[in-house]
Each structure stands twice: as structure tokens, then as C-alpha cells.
Amino acid sequence: VGRRDRDLAAANLTPVTLELGGKSPAIFDPSCDLDAAVSSIAYGKLLNAGQTCIAPDYLLVPKGQAGTVAAKLAMAIAKLYPT
């Protein structure tokens, strides 16, 4: 790329803001309080429509608890958004 190309490109740069968050997991320890954990997860994920760098993107739950956690998470979300 020559100097002329760089100068032309520089004249057309548009500033942007990029979210640098990753694929943030939420890890459930087998001894955690599920109701408290899913309440915190729902709030954290839905805060600012999920557009925060620390919003959890997926859950890692103990084997055999996925259905229970999903049901509790649905209830926690329903409490935050009842209508």
C-alpha cells in the first residue's frame, strides 16, 4: 500500500466503538444457591439489554442440573419482566 492510498484512507476513517467482551461463562458450583445464582445471572445478562462486556453468554452447570437451572432462570426472568 502506497502513501497515496494511506492518505486517501485516512481522509475517510470513521470512528467506532467496539465492545471487547468475550464469551463470558457463568460457572455454577455444585454447592451454590441456585435461586440466588439464577437471579444474579438473569439480572447481569439483561442489564442494558445484555450489552455489557461482563454479561454472561453461557452457563456451565453441574451434570444433571441443566433442566432445573433453565426452569429457575425462566422464572427469574419472568420476575424481572412480568409483562
Residues carrying an active site annotation: 19, 53
Number of neighbours of residue 40 by Cβ within 10 angstroms: 14
C-alpha angle 27-33-39 in degrees, rounded to nearest 5: 75
* Rounded-to-integer distance, Cα 61 and Cα 29, Å: 7
